[in-house]
Amino acid sequence: MRTPHISRILVVALTAAVSLALVGTASAAEKPAAKPAAGKSAPAKSKAKGKGKAKEVDASAVAPPRMFGGGYPANPALKSWLAEAGTDSFYLVLDPPGRTLQLVLGGVVIRTFEVSEVKVATPRRWAGAAPLAKDWHERVWTGAKLDPPHPGARTEIVGPEIGTATGEVLVPPTPEEAIPVPSLYRIHFAEGLVLEMAGGVAEQKGELPPTELPGGFKEKIRMLREGAPDPLRVRVTLQPDAYSEIYRALPPGTDLVIVHGGK
Amino acid sequence: MIKKVLVGSGVVLLVVGVVAVGGLLMVDRSGYHFVDPDLSLGANAGDRLKLEASFTKPPEAKVYIVIDRTHNRLELRKGSTTTLSAVCSAGSGYVLKERSTDKRKGRQWVFDTPRGVHHIKNKRTDPAWKRPDWDYIEKGEAIPRNPADRIETGMLGAYAMDLGDGYMIHGTLYERLLGRGVTHGCVRLGKNDLATVFKECPIGTPIYIY
């Protein structure tokens, strides 16, 4: 005989309650330390502090910032910005008060997108949310990766035998056809920050809450047991066109700088 | 006695259940607590304004080109002003593989327009095109031994601007395909837009491709 649905939920809830009582906040606090940012180790000091000191561990959940030498400007965020401007690499400048997200290359703004809202988030804990690292907007976040990634496979053509070509011109798909934009996507940075992009057509139609995750009940239990996957999320709400354009055209490996103050 | 145990167990289960359900309700499905960021300008206003003043590159008076290779768009800009917005064709992203023979393993080419900062290195009028190996392989033609046999005229339109490594901005015989990524890495423009870019951009003009 199958267990009724409500009973199953109750069983799962009770199991979760017992598990949580055993694992508790310490488990959630351990998560970031157990999964340091890709390729970068957390400071030894923070690791040594170990369990139970959520604030200390959270500070180490993100890799050490790329700091730059002294001198003008004094503000670290602006210093990061200036240092990026001196390179020939791509980077995003998110200006929450100015409500813009800019794609910059070699110090030149090549695209500016209007942002309607910026929110910052840390994982929920039993009693509130994890603390926000103090330097989250005063550093360079590196190595953007789209999630989900583009449909990866490239079209491969094998040259025809000599004399057998038909002369037919292969017409490739448009960007819209080639790269369908998901209803929800994120941009992961190597040091642990995740940009959660909102504003796609599905969301505009009210079909999909922007932060909804699949899995529902089971996902909640998993999060309470294991902690949320990313130490820091920044949700950026855009217009649908910008939402799609960034997904299709963002160069991989782009860096991110979050700056103070608007115009 | 048994009744008391049952009642006690029931109460314990109820309390645990309430705590569990309450705990789960505290977590929305995102598992995150979203707040407005506090990024007030405060004492950094001076830094910010100084930085913005020194930030704009290249200087206002200079012309530069921005190419979105995904959406096949080219913009000609002067400082922060866009003076031309054109539909272009960038690289297809296709991979061409040469058939392997008994003598050698087949080569392969990736037809991407390279991202990054480039510059116009040379400008040519009525440019001739020296067909590379991949063009013969793609069309199933024998590769000529005499380099002079590779030269073809009229394929690149009226103008070409070299970016280095064989990449160019040039014209096309296939204007109907503008807006799609069809090229082997070069950037194709329509006749009128090509003329404007050629006229406005001196050698050394920076090109930002993303």
Average pLDDT (A211-225) is: 59
- Report ipTM (2 d.p.): 0.80
**Range ranked top by mean pLDDT from A199-208, B17-26, B82-91:** B82-91
Residues of B in contact with A107 (CB under 8 A): 55, 57
Reported confidence tier of residue A172, pLDDT bands at 50, 70, 90: confident
Task: Return the pLDDT at A1.
Answer: 38
Sign of the C-alpha dihedral computed for residues B164, B169, B173 and B177 taken in this order: positive
Contact A175, B69 (CB under 8 A): no
- Percent of chain A's residues with pLDDT above 70: 56
Task: Return the pLDDT at A113.
Answer: 96
The DSSP bridge partners found for residue A129 are A124
Reported confidence tier of residue A259, pLDDT bands at 50, 70, 90: confident
Q: What is the CA radius of gyration of chain A?
A: 22
* A89 against A135, higher pLDDT: A89
Is 90 exceeded by the pLDDT of residue A20? Answer: no
Task: Give per-residue pLDDT as tens, B28-46.
Answer: 556 777 778 776 545 555 5
Give the count of alpha carbons within 13 A of B103, CB side only. 1
Cβ–Cβ contact A23 with B under 8 A: no
Task: Return the pLDDT at A97.
Answer: 85
Task: Return the pLDDT at B44.
Answer: 56
The DSSP bridge partners found for residue B161 are B123, B169
* A45 against B171, higher pLDDT: B171
Contact A187, A250 (CB under 8 A): yes
Cβ–Cβ contact A6 with B under 8 A: no
Cβ–Cβ contact A258 with B under 8 A: yes
d(CA A158, CA A171): 16
Tokens 């949320």 label which residue? A228
Residues of B in contact with A137 (CB under 8 A): 37, 39
Residue A109's φ and ψ, nearest 5 degrees, are -75, 115
Average pLDDT (A83-87) is: 74
Reported confidence tier of residue B23, pLDDT bands at 50, 70, 90: low
Reported confidence tier of residue B47, pLDDT bands at 50, 70, 90: low
**What is the pTM for the complete model shown?**
0.73
For an interface test with B, give the residue of A162, A170, A193 to mutate (most B CBs within 10 A): A162
Task: Return the pLDDT at B147.
Answer: 93
The DSSP bridge partners found for residue B170 are B160, B188
Task: Give per-residue pLDDT as tens, B77-95.
Answer: 998 899 999 999 999 999 9
**Range ranked top by mean pLDDT from A209-213, B95-99, B137-141, B189-193:** B189-193
Reported confidence tier of residue A218, pLDDT bands at 50, 70, 90: low
Reported confidence tier of residue A229, pLDDT bands at 50, 70, 90: confident
Cβ–Cβ contact A122 with B under 8 A: yes
Binding-face residues of A in 149-178 toward B, CB within 8 A: 154-165, 167, 169-175, 178
Residues of B in contact with A135 (CB under 8 A): none
Reported confidence tier of residue B130, pLDDT bands at 50, 70, 90: very high
d(CA A181, CA A201): 10
Task: Return the pLDDT at A214.
Answer: 46
CB contact under 8 A, A172 and B179: no
CB contact under 8 A, A78 and B48: yes
Task: Return the pLDDT at B188.
Answer: 98
Is 60 exceeded by the pLDDT of residue A188? Answer: yes
Nearest to A90 by CA among A246, A245, A256, A235: A256
Task: Give per-residue pLDDT as tens, B164-173.
Answer: 999 999 999 9
Task: Give per-residue pLDDT as tens, A22-39.
Answer: 443 333 333 333 333 333
Task: Give per-residue pLDDT as tens, A98-118.
Answer: 899 999 998 889 999 999 999
DSSP state of B72: T
